[in-house]
Structure 1
Amino acid sequence: MFCYLDWHYFIIWTKLLTLWKNITLFPFYYFSIPLHLRTLFAPWKKQLVRKKPGFHPTDIFYVVTFNFLSRLIAAIVRIITIICGLYLIVLFFFLFAIPAFIWVLIPFLTLPLYLFGIGKKKDPVSTIIKRSGGNPYTLLINLLKSKEGQFVILRLGLEPKEVFARLLPYAKKSTSSSPLLDALNMKNLSLADLFEMLAISYLPFKNILEEKNLKSEDVLNAALWYEKKQNLVKPPLFMDLAQIKSLPGIGVEWAYGYTVEFDKYAKDLTKNYSIFPLLLGREKEIKEIERILSKTQNNNVIIVGESGTARHALVETLAHRIFSGFCPPLLSHKRILSLDMPAVLSAAPTLLEVKGIMEKLLAEASFAGNIITFIDELDKYCSSQPGRTDTADVIAKFAVSSVGFIGITTPENYHKYLATNPVLAPLFEKVEVNEPDRETVITELELTIVPVLEQKYSLTITYPAISKTLENAERYISNKPYPAKAIDLLDESCLFAKTIEANALLPIHIDRFLSQKLEISLGEIGKSEKEKLSRLEEKIHQRVVNQEKAISVISSALRRRRLAVSSSKKPIGSFLFLGPTGVGKTETAKALCQIYFGGEKKMIRFDMSQYQKEEGLERLIGSVRTGTPGELTSKLKDNPFSLLLFDEFEKSVPEVYNLFLTLFDEGYIVDSNGKRIDARNTIIIATSNAGAEFIRENINMGVKDEQLQKILVEYVLNQGIFSPELINRFDAVVVFSPLSEGHLREVAKLQLLTLNKRLADKKVSVAITPELIKKLAIVGHDRQFGGRALSRVIAEKIEDVIAQKLLAGTAKKGEAIKIDL
């Protein structure tokens, strides 16, 4: 009985009083009564006529008459609006007072409503637990049948019918679980908690998840996704006074002027906001922008952030909040107009005329009284340097008026053009926009991006797909920051899934799309790839003779990386190849590039003898002084999946060595502008002839590979060729042994086979005989240049002969030309 009376006189009565109060106040705010009282005699849309200089009776009469009529018409319209609002206030007050007071007088008549649960606060968790009786099967089935359960199953990429069918055999087998019962007795459990507990402790459900490569964390996060969506649901309009206050009131724009000319060059973001109006996780930045724009002086903000950090979305979110009324009162009637500066610049041939147009537009905005001017890439219009236009004086003139400005720029351009500008710098307050953290990006995707993409592509986006999107975006997309790279990857993956007629976006679609786009292997390893990985050594030996140790070390690194065993924060592998000229160091790099990246075009080669002193460092990472981009940093940006080959590494200067310490250890370098350039998806090979003679001497003495590597490292350290810090950064230091005559025969055979491949389209070939191979090994043997001397012999003694025969026409089609050395 007490519960019923509490429900009748406290819960429902309180709601009725709130409803009565809000409905009564609705006309007060919707008819903008406070604003109309404050601006009762203000001219209509600020339409006034000013008297011309001199004494002109006709002109004076016209000005007085026009201004009087403007104020009179405005006052009449506002008075009528106020009267209508007041009439409705009185009407609603008495009309809705009747049911509120009747409710007090009819206790017990409402008992049926109470018994049916109307108006009672429902607890779905306790209801589901009570119905289950502690039986995990019943608990899970009831949970899966709830709205949240259906949402979770859908977002995990599971088929509801399949899940229920798989669980059916356990209907009679399931009994109460002691650990589960203990957990169910906990207070303040959410539906997400229930899902997680069942995913961990109920074996049939756990097995279903494991078969689909799903974890309990995926179930929990899918359930939390539902709770986030529910938190966005607003209460009914008349139960929330804040929503009533936020409604666009009648006649709000009557107190502000027209912007006829400005509108020709601008887009009203307040009315035409983005399809992604909810930028979540950026409350701090939005509040700071609102604070600056609400100031009475210097109410101008410059948003500083890298492209892709949602700078524009921040402005569009602010515009949406203003339109919806969820903003400070001082901004509630503002309009954010995006000024199309390229259109303004193209409207006049000279800078003076452009400034004249801008001054006219901004004067109109200032007179209107409710305009915030948004200028994208503000730095382009505040400097006289090449490719830029200096309109800073015009912007500064109106930046001190009632016109608030919002500008966008990058950190680099801010420091270069705006922070040093003595005119604008004091007038603009900076708001930095950085990359959001992982949780914020997930929330933005779930609540803002996913609904739009699902409608666009007519498919369901699962939580594991979102998680895989972030994982792959972080690992393989380095030329964009968050959230842009995650949004773009999710969008492109949805298009890919749609083209193969998938109904739901799954992690496998993210991997397949990125594999196709980047031409690399991702996701589960197929049968052919397993065979290729297990036979890497054999494949590299098809091009490289001897050097078993080097090839073994490299192959092991590639297998670890593909199977995600090695650290993902470092390059795929970094190796120092030590050995004489012509023993296969460069050829090994080419073979590796061909196998891992699909072609030698992915190899980026640097001769370190050309990068000396400070100028060499500037050539690699760029120069602030000249503005020249770096050769290494630029190529890494353009080719993030590549093999970096640094020839003659011992000739690098100490400044360059310091650059490589971070590159080898952390997988990135910093360019001259302070930007990180990602190198985690590269294989790095440094080659050096240092200690070549030392290697020959020790091999002649019979020193074995492992011992040779150890004493060679000690040798180059003692000689000061490389520092211990640098040597320790490499994954391995690999010694390449000099080639014997037997090895040279193998090299000769490989090179002749390669030559015949090139001659295939000429319909001729070289007759490869044991005698030819033996003679080539003898003639091409050179202690100093190794296999490179053999290449020169083949070019001079064989390729020249074939070229002469082809020119003379003496080579017959299909002929195997015999060469006599």
Structure 2
Amino acid sequence: MATTERLKVVFNHAWAYCINNRNEFLMPEHLLYVLTENDEFYTALNMFYNPKKLKERIEEFFTQIDRIPDDYDYKPQLSFQMDQLDFIAFRFQSSSGTELTDIPHYVGGILELSESWASFILRDCLDGRDAEFMSELISLVEYNNFEEKSKDEEVDQQWKRLVVCMNEHYQQQNPLIGREAELQRTIQVLCRCEKNNPLHVGEPGVGKTALIWGLAQMIEEGRVPKRLLGSRIYQLDMGTLLAGTHYRGDFENRIKQIMDGVCEEGNNNIVYIDEIHTLVGAGATSDGAMDASNMLKPYLESGNVRFIGSTTYDEYNRYFSRSKGMIRRFQQIDIPEPTSDETKHIVHQLQPRYEEFHGVKYSDEAIDFAVEMSIKHIHDRFLPDKVIDLIDEAGAAMEIGDNDSVIGKKEIADVLAKTCKVDALSEAADVDYQNLESLAPRMLEQIYGQDEAIRQVVESVQMSRAGLLDDNKPLASLLFVGPTGVGKTEVARVLARELGIELVRFDMSEYTEKHTVAKLIGSPAGYVGYEDGGLLTDAIRKSPNCVLLLDEIEKAHEDIYNILLQVMDYARLTDNKGRHADFRNVVLIMTSNAGAQYASQASVGFQSSVSRGDAMMRQVKKTFKPEFLNRLSGSVVFNDMSREMATLILQKKLRELDAKLEAKHVSMTLSTDAFDYLLKEGFTPEYGAREMDRVIAQRLKPILMREILFGSLKDGGNVTISIKDGSLQIG
């Protein structure tokens, strides 16, 4: 069994102690005794128990063991428990995957031994904290192994294991395209005498890291000023620096090793620190303690090594700007998001790389379409990263499908529909215009007597698909006004179902108090629920292509109208964390019963031609602010419920009931007098269609329920409903 040098020393001392004590067998207690003199074991045990006291207890144990006479020549043998310990230690070593057996394997074996005094006394000292003790011991041994290994390595190889030389790997990255001005400014700062440290600040995905890869390529190709020729760019990763650091000072020691190694290699070397804001506070144990940024300041001042940092605007303001000393030593260079034309040029240049990787071809129209659609529909990310992701995803989708090897608009639109949940893009060549043309007739088959409301809703959707609406407004912002039960909410439900998109509904009666309105966009910082975000903004980010129904808007607190103003004007809402929700693919529908108490005024006087809805509309104009009403794309007055509408609605409700009965193999026939009875009981202008549901649920369904559960319809069959003695009955 191969062992470490450390363990060999421990065993040699154990044999020597056994012989000096004149003991016949080498026992685990001998091994435990000499382990108290081992540095790693002593340090680990000292966190839980005094090693000197353990040593004294073992010495007391040996006073009770028989000794071999001094004049007798003998050679100690391994005890039975020592043989067991060897086997257990070997088993631990095999399962751990290490090549050599070490001290932790034998200490773990001692704790595993049964009927051993060494095991008993060690467990007694640890008092149930065996696992914590073993973890500390293993960490100490591994750390010392690393330190010993590091001493044997050359200094040059120590720090290079913690960094990445970008000059050696630039060919594996996408080539840098464009960014001439930013690259020229970076080189200019690097050539300065003092404060020659550029700091790239830009949004995620605009190409900050790609700029450094491009600089590394220019250095290797000799396309830089003489001062930078032969420079090496080393990328510093904070995760690598922190990994495996156990003690205070390990992290700082690694930084010093890297900086000293870079300086010794040459005066033109460059250290690139991505996400440089992580340096501020890294390694500090408390406020005011030295962190990584303070350790770098002497090197920033010396000029022997140059630094390039990159971060985003948010992190710069939140973390980096707190360190005034770091700001003073860097020269900020803004990396703006490329324009649409610049992005098209970048992606066209990258096109051959992705065609070769995926084994496909991208049409020029597909690339331009991907850029335009990502700008229009992907708002939480930035160019060119979001476009590159889009064409890469389309290439991957083509690989796993049985499609042609040419990617066009359709393939890009399919990927965009899945990633952004924006369906049936009008710009794609395969939009189902026939389905869109028949939208109004299909809705009219389900909603009766509200033709004007359906016309306005359908026209808004069709105009958006035709590209005739303002791109910075919702598809439609409609206010539905009318008495209860005439179909205001039902229009929104049917529209969402026919378009195949989600219906997002908010009951505005839940937001009557001022503080409840904040839940829609999120509570302010410091208030309960701040981390939860906004209910409305989160719902729209999750389903950006939807029908948003704000039911009974007049019941909400008046502050809700101020929030909706910017939604109807700019199709954007910002939550409490500064994140934007995009409403450009949303059909906003608000329903209102405002003025329901004045609806009866519509019939006052002889031959009055004012409908209940028109009377309510007058009150609506008094309820809502002018600036709110002025931003609506339409205000729809729903017609009163008439007998003809009620007849059609009753027929629809009965068809829905027939569908449920069909699942039970039951067919229902309703006599003419029974139909008239339901219509008479269910139609009231005051309550609209909702009264119809109650009549069917209370008068018709109980009769069917009793027959299906306990009567003649247990196994299905036909049933006729008629009127007997003034009520619905079977037969």
TM-score range, shorter chain: 0.5 to 0.7
State the shift of 1:577 in Å: 1.0
- Residue 450 of structure 2 corresponds to 547
Pair 1:469-2:373 in alignment: no
1:270 match: secondary structure: helix
8 A Cα contact 1:381 1:390, kept in partner: no
Cα distance per residue 1:632-672 (max 9 Å; x no partner): 22222221111111122223445432332222122222333
**Contact 2:166–2:233 (CA under 8 A) maintained in structure 1:** yes
Residues 328-347 of structure 1 correspond to what in structure 2 (within 5 A)?
328-347=225-244
SS, match of residue 419 in structure 1: helix
Task: Give, in whole Å, the separation in 2 of the partners of 1:692 and 1:787.
Answer: 16
Name the aligned partner's letter for residue 460 of structure 2.
A
Cα pair 1:275 1:452 within 8 Å, conserved: no
CA 1:300/1:639 → structure 2, altered by over 3 Å: closer, same or farther?
farther
Matched residue SS, 2:636 = strand
Letter in 1 for 2:451: E
The one-letter amino acid of 2:508's match is M
In the other structure, the counterpart of 1:361 is: 258
Do the aligned partners of 2:206 and 2:336 also contact (CA within 8 Å) in 1? yes
CA RMSD of aligned residues (A): 3.7
5 Å-filtered alignment, 1:744-755, equals 744-755=646-657
Structure 1 counterpart of 2:100:
none
Counterpart residue type for residue 543 of structure 1: Q
Residue number in structure 1 paired with 2:496:
593
- Give the corresponding residue for 2:20: none
Paired AA for residue 452 in structure 2: K
Secondary structure at the counterpart of residue 518 of structure 2: helix
Q: Match of 2:591, SS?
A: strand
CA distance in 2, matches of 1:301, 1:613: 51
Answer yes or no: is the 8 Å Cα contact 2:613–2:639 preserved in 1. Answer: no
Matching of residue 603 in structure 1 with residue 507 in structure 2: no
Tell whether the 8 Å contact from 2:708 to 2:716 is kept in structure 1 after alignment. no
Cα 1:607–1:393 shift into 2, 3 Å = same
- TM (normalized to structure 1)? 0.60
Task: Please state how far the C-alpha of 1:395 moved relative to its aligned partner.
Answer: 2.6
Q: Is 1:688 paired with 2:586?
A: no
The alignment partner of 1:481 has SS state of: coil
**Superposed displacement of residue 513, structure 1:** 4.8
Cα displacement string for residues 411-442 of structure 1 (whole angstroms, at most 9, x for unaligned residues): 22322222234564444443333321111111
CA contact (8 A) 1:752 1:768 kept: no
Q: How many residues align?
A: 556
CA distance 1:497–1:618, change in 2 (3 Å): same
- Partners of 2:290 and 2:664 in 1: CA distance: 67
Per-residue CA deviation, residues 536-559 of structure 1 (Å, 9 max, x unaligned), is 222112332221110111111122
SS of 1:786's equivalent in the other structure is coil
Q: Report matched runs for 1:55-94 at 5 Å.
A: none
Residues 383 and 611 of structure 1: CA distance in aligned 2, closer, same or farther (over 3 Å): farther
**Amino acid corresponding to residue 618 of structure 1 in structure 2:** A
2:674 and 2:249 map into 1 onto residues whose CA distance is: 80
- Aligned equivalent of 1:313, options 210, 213, 235: 210
Using the TM superposition, give the Cα deviation of residue 593 of structure 1 relative to its aligned residue in structure 2, in angstroms: 0.7
1:455–1:562: structure 2 CA closer, same or farther, 3 Å change rule?
same
1:302-701 to 2 correspondences below 5 Å: 302-349=199-246, 353-369=250-266, 370-380=268-278, 382-383=280-281, 393-401=291-299, 402-421=304-323, 424-447=326-349, 449-496=350-397, 499=401, 501-502=403-404, 504-511=406-413, 513-514=415-416, 518=421, 520-522=423-425, 529-596=432-499, 598-599=500-501, 602-611=502-511, 615-623=515-523, 625-626=525-526, 627-628=530-531, 629-695=533-599, 697-698=601-602
**Contact 1:752–1:766 (CA<8 Å) still a contact in 2?**
no
What's the % identity of the aligned pairs?
Answer: 27
Q: Map 1:76-115 to 2 at 5 A.
A: none
Task: State whether residues 767 and 818 of structure 1, in contact with CA within 8 Å, keep that contact through their aligned partners in structure 2.
Answer: yes
SS at match of 1:441: helix
> Normalised by the size of structure 2, how large is the TM-score?
0.67
Alpha-carbon offset, residue 594 of structure 1? 1.0
Kindly state the Cα deviation for residue 727 of structure 1 after the two structures are TM-superposed. Answer: 1.3
Larger Rg: 2
Cα distance in 1, alignment partners of residues 454 and 467 from structure 2:
20
Provide the C-alpha distance between the structure 2 equivalents of 1:745 and 1:689, rounded to a whole number of angstroms: 24
Deviation readout 1:117-169 (Å, 9 max, x if unpaired): xxxxxxxxxxxxxxxxxxxxxxxxxxxxxxxxxxxxxxxxxxxxxxxxxxxxx
Q: 1:818 to 1:289 in 2, by over 3 A?
A: farther
**Residues 1-150 of structure 1: matches in 2 within 5 Å?**
none
Q: Equivalent residue of 2:432, what SS?
A: helix
SS in structure 1 at match of 2:372 = helix
Alpha-carbon spacing, 1:741–1:456, altered in 2? closer, same or farther (3 Å): same
CA distance in 1, matches of 2:404, 2:309: 42
Residue 735 (str. 1) matches residue 633 (str. 2): no
Taking a change above 3 Å as real, the CA distance of residues 767 and 429 of structure 1, as seen in their structure-2 partners, is: farther
CA separation in 2, counterparts of 1:374 and 1:417?
18
Structure 2 unmatched runs, 5+: 1-153, 722-727
Distance 1:311 1:768 in 2: 73
Structure 1 residue 382 displacement after superposition: 3.2
For structure 1, the residue ranges without an aligned partner over 5 or more in a row are 1-256
The residue identity in structure 2 corresponding to 1:563 is A
C-alpha distance in 2 between matches for 1:712 and 1:688: 9
